[in-house]
């Protein structure tokens, strides 16, 4: 049986936890803890379900990425982090450290680039790489040994492999970047080719396979109006593909043993959970619960995950 490398899209987890758990969760100083609580609960569920041999948590960096340098409007429409969310990032890193999870934060790169680079770096080994996120951008990385798992409420999660991408999207995982080059992606402010929608983008990919082949055969494209749209937006299409492409060659030097996950430091985990008064999580991990302020009740279904 192949060993399993788990790649966690950390901010994706944190955002989901932040919006799922009541914002009334606070520590004794009154600082928000709802995202930290939900994030920790999700990690525990994930480790129980997948039982990974290796784990890496990919972090987004606050500094602008190389994509912004190429296109200043990239993700420019997104709102700044809410103060109550931003205040909990350090706590999430503290949780990762307590569990002994390797976390990587790379200046100038997104978490997706970290995930793509680590997945590629260990691609030649006998491993199943499992990327955990509900971000469809990661689907472009899927192959016979790389999968995406989106945790789901009360179930085993939604597992996405190459066959599932083909069934849902109509083309191969690697062609997602060509689709976005044509269709654009409003969530990331990727422009695409103005006037080309979902159906036309899929049809062009099905017929030609890639942006490069589309433009190499542009004289064959009918009707003339579509050919004109493509011709007038050639540079935009190329830039959009570059923006949509996850960089799998980020400057990361990592040995597989650095990512090994056998068991966590029980004392360290218990101490950090006790400090946040996460008694239900302490109990789930089999620790004794000391007396103290009662923890707020939370319905685990609020996590909308495992």
- 14 with 111, same domain: the answer is yes
Q: Are residues 179 and 285 in the same domain?
A: no
Among residues 29, 269, 5, the alpha carbon closest in space to that of 132 is found at 5
Q: Is 236 helix (H, G, I), strand (E, B) or coil?
A: helix
Q: Which of 244, 268, 292 is the last residue of a domain?
A: 244
158 & 266 share domain:
yes
Q: How far is CA 287 from CA 1, 223, 276, 280, in A?
A: 32, 68, 15, 10
Q: What is the b/e burial string over 53-92, where b = at least 16 CB atoms within 10 angstroms of the residue's CB?
A: bbbbbbbbbeeebebeeebeebbeeeeeeeeebeebbebb
Is the same domain home to 148 and 297?
yes
Structural domain of 97: 3-167+248-303
131 and 273 part of one domain:
yes
Single residue among 195, 225, 244 that ends a domain in this structure: 244
Which structure tokens are listed for 154? 């009360």
Domain co-membership, 175 together with 151: no
Asked if 139 and 240 sit in the same domain, the reply is no
CATH code, domain carrying 173? 1.10.150.20
Q: What is the pLDDT along the chain (306 residues), one digit of tens a residue?
A: 899 999 999 999 999 999 999 999 998 899 999 999 999 999 999 999 999 999 999 998 877 677 766 666 556 566 778 999 999 999 999 999 999 999 999 998 999 999 999 999 998 888 999 999 999 999 999 999 999 998 876 556 789 999 999 999 999 999 999 999 999 998 888 999 999 999 999 999 999 999 999 999 999 999 999 999 999 999 999 999 999 999 999 999 999 999 999 877 788 899 999 999 999 999 998 886 554 444 454 544 444 443
Q: What CATH number does residue 66 fall under?
A: 3.40.50.1010
Contact 58, 104 (CB under 8 A): yes
Residues 161 and 177 in one domain: no
Model confidence pTM above 0.85: yes
Q: Taking phi first (over 0 means left), then psi (-120 to 50 degrees means alpha), and beta for anything else, what does residue 157 get? A: left
Instruction: Say how far residue 288 (Cα) sits from the centre of its chain.
Output: 34
Q: What is the DSSP letter of 171?
A: S
Residues 173 and 45 in one domain: no
Domain total of the chain: 2
Judgement on whether residues 99 and 204 belong to the same structural domain of the protein: no
Last residue of a domain, one of 203, 219, 244: 244
259 and 200 in a common domain: no
Are 237 and 259 part of one and the same domain?
Answer: no
């Amino acid at each position: 049986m192949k060993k399993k490398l788990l790649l966690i899209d950390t901010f994706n987890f944190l955002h989901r936890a932040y919006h799922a758990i009541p914002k009334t969760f606070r520590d004794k100083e009154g600082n928000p803890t709802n995202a930290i609580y939900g994030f920790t609960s999700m990690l525990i569920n994930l480790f129980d379900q997948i039982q990974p041999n290796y784990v890496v948590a990919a972090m987004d960096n606050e500094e602008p990425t190389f994509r912004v340098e190429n296109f200043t409007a990239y993700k420019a429409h997104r709102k700044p982090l809410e103060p109550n969310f931003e205040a909990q990032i350090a706590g999430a890193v503290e949780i990762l450290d307590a569990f002994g999870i390797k976390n990587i934060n790379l200046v100038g790169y997104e978490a997706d680039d970290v995930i793509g680079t680590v997945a590629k770096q260990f691609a030649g080994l006998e491993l199943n790489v499992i990327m955990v996120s509900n971000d469809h951008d990661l689907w472009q990385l899927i192959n016979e040994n790389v999968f995406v798992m989106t945790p789901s409420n009360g179930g085993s999660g939604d597992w996405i492999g190459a066959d599932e991408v083909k069934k849902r999207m109509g083309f191969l995982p690697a062609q997602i970047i060509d689709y976005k080059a044509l269709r654009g992606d409003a969530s990331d402010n990727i422009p695409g080719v103005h006037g080309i929608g979902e159906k036309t983008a899929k049809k062009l990919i099905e017929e030609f396979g890639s942006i490069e082949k589309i433009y190499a055969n542009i004289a064959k494209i009918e009707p003339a109006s579509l050919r004109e749209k493509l011709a007038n937006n050639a540079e935009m299409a190329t830039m959009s593909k570059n923006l949509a492409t996850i960089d799998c060659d980020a400057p990361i030097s990592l040995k597989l043993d650095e990512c090994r996950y056998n068991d966590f430091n029980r004392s360290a985990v218990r101490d950090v959970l006790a400090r946040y008064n996460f008694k239900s999580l302490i109990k789930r991990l089999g620790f004794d619960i000391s007396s103290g302020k009662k923890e707020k009740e939370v319905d685990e279904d609020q996590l909308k995950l495992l």
